[in-house]
Amino acid sequence: MAMVETEEPILLDDEVWERIVRITGGAASPCFQCGVCTAVCPWGLVKNETVSIRKLIRSGQLGVEWGDDLWLCTTCGACVPTCPRGVDIPGVMLALREVAWRDRDIPEGFPSMLWSEYWNGNPWERPPSERAGWARGLDVPQYNSAEHEVLLYAGCSASYDRRIQKVARALVSILKAADVKFGILGDDEPCCGDPVRSVGHTAYTRMIVDENSRRFEELGVGTIVTVSPHCYDMFKNHYHVGNGFRPLHYSQYLAELVESERLSLPNELSMTTTFHDPCYLARRNDETEAPRKVLSAIPGMKTVEMTHSGEETICCGGGGGRMWLETAPGERFSDIRVKEGMETGADVMVTACPHCISCLEDSLAVAGAENMRILDLAEVVALTTNGRETKGKRKSRKKRSAS
């Protein structure tokens, strides 16, 4: 009996896989498609069929197309601890995206985001001349390494997003209350490069990192305190600045100030909080204690944990470039997270990441939860240092993810 051909043959492309192995420094090679990563991917919580990470990696090994699923990965890192071969799976996803950029197989919207980075120095298509607008009226000086112990790095979200600007302003009030000598770069502050890296454009990321590393060295930057965990991750793990460069997320710095008794938290706050761990703080950088140390130091406050906390946190959905892509209703991780928060009976869900604030507040509005609200850790601390509350309400974005 003659065999009937039903499909076109697949021509394997070893060159593609060789590029991926080279881009990841060999990290992709040990994957043998066991499927454990697929089982723990948070997309399985919101989709009937989860994202098959092993299928994506196998497609890369075979040199065949991987489709739209490649751009679902939020690089949250939930898969990394479970991999029996120790594969840096988010790193492999970014490597696959780098190949996709070279082949011009990318989602609509990413090129315009990169052009905004190039022309404006931020992904939000806002003029660089408005970057320091968030600090208007706060009397914050331009950073000078000879005079200041800290460079406060606002980042793009805190510079241009009105909701996140409140977080940066709250942080300024806290640092002043602790008598910290600090400055900012104002309109000269550059983007850290995380938005570019998150979509896999490695060459442009390298240009940003090299230029900023040189600038920070020339400025003599020592301790740099970031609003966003994504900026902290970039500075800590991807920059090459000389000795003395010390990146910290602001929660870590506040914990240091509390422990050294430089920061006093005098006002009692009678509220119950639950803390949502940002992926880029808890999982990518193994920091879960600092935010809780700060919360535990606030008099009158009770903190309860959600079902998934610490390194087992559920991603808000905004990493990996998802902030610049649409996520269908019902497929947003933040919906699940808000539900978990409501189940604790907490008055406030606290977090410490601009992406998380955006996603969680959108989901909270959809859930119609009138008895709970979302606040950033800096906003909560500002309540006990100066007694003035920040309401923190925002309008929903047109484009947002499930960060």
Q: Are residues 250 and 123 in the same domain?
A: yes
CATH number at residue 317: 3.40.50.11810
Confidence check: pLDDT of 2 > 90: no
Q: Of 102, 132, 162, which residue constitutes the final position of a domain?
A: 102
Q: Check whether 389 has a pLDDT greater than 50.
A: no
Do 187 and 119 share a domain, yes or no?
yes
Domain boundary residue, one of 234, 257, 280:
257
pTM for the model stands at: 0.90
Look at 80 and 63; give whichever has higher pLDDT.
Answer: 80
Q: How confident is the model at residue 172 (pLDDT cuts 50, 70, 90)?
A: very high
What CATH number does residue 138 fall under?
3.40.50
Q: Is residue 1 part of a domain?
A: no
Q: What percent of the chain has pLDDT over 70?
A: 89
Q: Can you give the pLDDT at residue 6?
A: 53
Query: Is 394 within a domain?
Result: no
The dihedral region occupied by 121, where left means phi > 0, alpha psi between -120 and 50, and beta the remainder, is left
Question: What domain count does the chain have?
Answer: 3
What per-residue confidence (pLDDT) applies to 400? 44
Task: Examine the fold and report which residue of 232, 257, 282 is the final residue of a domain before the chain moves on.
Answer: 257
User: Is the pLDDT confidence value at 8 over 90?
Assistant: no
Alpha-carbon distance of 338 to 102, in angstroms, equals: 38
**Predicted local confidence at residue 396, as pLDDT:** 42
Query: Quick one: 228 and 129 in the same domain?
Result: yes
Task: Look at residue 9 and tell me if it is in a domain.
Answer: no
For range 100-125, the mean pLDDT: 92
Does residue 220 share a domain with residue 178? yes
Q: Is residue 28 part of a domain?
A: yes
Tell me the per-residue pLDDT of 233-273, one tens digit each, with 9 for 90 and over. 999 999 999 889 999 999 999 999 999 999 999 899 999 99
Tens digits of per-residue pLDDT, 9-26?
655 566 766 777 776 667
Same structural domain for residues 179 and 292? no
Average pLDDT of span 99-105: 85
Q: What is the pLDDT of residues 344-376, one digit of tens each?
A: 999 999 999 999 999 999 999 988 877 899 999
Instruction: Return the percentage of the chain with pLDDT > 90, whole number.
Output: 67
Q: Which domain holds residue 187?
A: 110-257
114 with 244, same domain: the answer is yes
Q: How confident is the model at residue 91 (pLDDT cuts 50, 70, 90)?
A: confident
